[in-house]
Amino acid sequence: MYLQYRVDTAQIAGEPWLLLVGVSWLPYMTLSEVVVAHVGLSLPLAPAAARTALNVVGTSGGLLLMMPMAYVAIFLRTPEIIVALACLVAVSLAALLAAWIWLDRTYRNAPNHLLPR
């Protein structure tokens, strides 16, 4: 994003919505890594399939969200589509947060005899 800003400063100044691409994508990727780390470290009874699914959804989901946004921002430069894709990232962020809360509430207070030794 910084390189695009350095190359095309006048364009960014005239169309600040282009920065929405990186600004909306970074919190999703950060939260997905935090969720994977929390489930791996603090929820020992969470199923391994849930950990794997969170890892796959966090990384490939983030990449699949970023690829169309980057293409539209760099080549098409249409603000309507960028705003719609940023809203999609916001909904995905809320879904990831809801999944994290559900996993935490489900697997946090496990009886001691079920914990691995």
pLDDT at 68: 81
- H or E element in which residue 45 lies: none
The pLDDT, as a whole number, for residue 101 is 92
What lies within 8 Å, CB to CB, of 73 at 6+ separation is: 18, 21, 82
| pLDDT over 70 at 93, yes or no | yes
Residue 12's alpha-carbon distances to 32, 55, 72, 84, in angstroms, are 29, 34, 14, 19
- What's the average model confidence in pLDDT over 30-52? 88
Q: Mean pLDDT over residues 46-63, rounded?
A: 86
pLDDT of 58 above 70 = yes
Task: Indicate if the pLDDT at residue 45 is higher than 60.
Answer: yes
pTM of the model: 0.75
Tell me the pLDDT of the chain averaged across its residues: 79
- Max mean pLDDT among 3-7, 81-85, 97-101, 103-107 falls in 97-101
Mean pLDDT within 57-73 = 80
For 110, the token pair is 């496990």
